[in-house]
Amino acid sequence: MIKTSMTELFGCKHPIMLAGMNWVTEPKLVAAVCNAGGLGIFATARCTPEETRKNIREIRSLTDKPFGINQILMFGKIAQDTIQVAAEEKVPVINYTLGKPWFIDQVHAYGGKVLGTTATVKHAKKAAELGCDAIVVTGNEAAAHGELPTTLVLLPLVTSSVKIPVIAAGGFGDGRGLAAALALGAAGISMGTRFSLTKESIVHENFKQLCLKASESDTLYSDKFDGMPGRALKTPVTERMVKGGFPAVDALKGAYDVKKFLNLNWMQFLGMSFKMMGAEESHPLWVQARQAAGTMRHTKALYDGDMKEGIFFAGQIIGACSDLPTVQELMDRIIAEAEATIKKEHAMLA
């Protein structure tokens, strides 16, 4: 057994966390990670506050172990309402990203812990100053959203800058990676892509098989997928999105995605199209269009297995994923390999 400040803080058996991945971290997968000894995190951004409450209670029906929820704070009122629901339900861990937490004292009042997800040293230090109990540090290797610094560079810088536990994310999927993270000062690791490739994951079999066949080079990093810099599996559709096309055509497609996502009428659609044609790609309308398109394409991949239009956010660790174990099998394998790696390194030092 590997005990760290992460396991002590959160009350989990192993220093391994399930990354909060929207539409992927369903209650079954969250509970499976918790029951296997890790810290399961449920991503709430796809939910209304009441849907979040329902899912929290479902997780509690499946496990008696500590778990958490993840909320993107940039979503404004709905984020506030969701955090309030999580606090009312006394969720043990509140994990946030993309925003400044206002709820730390409220969570601490019922004995909960606050976990900030960051991608730079600056933001990690700020999270510690605000009173977070621990920090997730996400390197560029990770799936979905992150900045340019890689985990190998970022992790030692952050662990030297803060005094609270740091959980490393980006590029982890086996025991050697866990041992390496601990050697670099981390208290544990967060895994998204590796847990999405398990039997309990709801990811469609088409995309599970694509990932198993992929190499470490078969991902793309771009802000074209959903408006924010992120990493996705390389497929014909993601390559086409990164390459781009004619601005007018892209504007029409983007506006149409927003029309469907927000249920706009045709006059609103045409007005948005003309505005986008005359706007820079950094304009909020373009960001909104990419978020709408990204959401629809992501769900097409996860639920329908649509390999022509769906996109799947995946990290570079897919190159090391060759099977679809149960969560328990994966957890046991990682811990055994980490323990063996640490013993081997100690023997070399002796």
pLDDT per position as a tens digit, 53-62:
999 999 999 9
Q: Is residue 275 part of a domain?
A: yes
Q: Is residue 321 part of a domain?
A: no
Cβ-count burial 120-140 (b if 16+ within 10 Å, e if not): bbebbbbbbeeebbbbbbbbb
Is 71 in a helix, a strand, or coil? Answer: strand
pLDDT value of residue 326: 98
Rounded-to-integer distance, Cα 100 and Cα 333, Å: 37
CB 84 within 8 A of CB 49: yes
**Mean pLDDT throughout 187-204?**
97
* 329 has a pLDDT exceeding 90: yes
Cβ-count burial 178-214 (b if 16+ within 10 Å, e if not): bbbbbebbbbbbbbbbbbbbbebbebbeebbebbeeb
At 78, the pLDDT band (50, 70, 90 cuts) reads confident
Q: Say yes or no: 272 and 334 in one domain.
A: no
**By residue range, what is the domain housing residue 219?**
213-304
Lowest mean pLDDT among 46-50, 163-167, 262-266: 262-266
pLDDT value of residue 246: 41
Rounded-to-integer distance, Cα 146 and Cα 128, Å: 19
Query: What CATH number did the domain enclosing 146 receive?
Result: 3.20.20.70
Q: Say yes or no: 187 and 219 in one domain.
A: no
pLDDT value of residue 350: 63
* 6 has a pLDDT exceeding 60: yes
**Mean pLDDT throughout 328-336?**
98
Q: Is residue 312 part of a domain?
A: no
pLDDT value of residue 295: 73
Q: Is residue 264 part of a domain?
A: yes
Lowest mean pLDDT among 205-219, 231-245, 290-304, 324-338: 290-304
List helix spans (H) across 160-246. 175-183, 193-196, 205-213, 236-243
Q: Say yes or no: 135 and 266 in one domain.
A: no
Q: Say yes or no: 16 and 106 in one domain.
A: yes
pLDDT value of residue 240: 85
Sign of torsion, CA 232 237 239 245? negative
Rounded-to-integer distance, Cα 115 and Cα 132, Å: 6
pLDDT value of residue 248: 46
Phi/psi of residue 188, each to 5°?
170, -175
Residue 194 tokens read as 């590796």
At 243, the pLDDT band (50, 70, 90 cuts) reads confident
Q: Is residue 14 part of a domain?
A: yes
Rounded-to-integer distance, Cα 192 and Cα 317, Å: 10
Considering the chain, what percentage of its residues have pLDDT values greater than 70? 85
User: How many domains does the chain divide into?
Assistant: 2
Q: Say yes or no: 81 and 143 in one domain.
A: yes
The mean pLDDT of the chain is: 88
pLDDT value of residue 263: 59
Q: Is residue 282 part of a domain?
A: yes
Q: Say yes or no: 146 and 221 in one domain.
A: no
Characterise 303 by phi-psi region: left (phi > 0), alpha (psi -120 to 50), beta (else). Answer: alpha
pLDDT value of residue 277: 54
State the CB neighbour count (10 A cutoff) for residue 345: 13
Type of residue found at 214? A
Is 278 in a helix, a strand, or coil? Answer: coil
The burial class, CB within 10 Å (0-12 / 13-18 / 19+), for 3 is exposed
Rounded-to-integer distance, Cα 178 and Cα 187, Å: 9
* 71 has a pLDDT exceeding 80: yes
* 274 has a pLDDT exceeding 80: no
Q: Say yes or no: 104 and 219 in one domain.
A: no
* 50 has a pLDDT exceeding 80: yes
pLDDT value of residue 147: 85
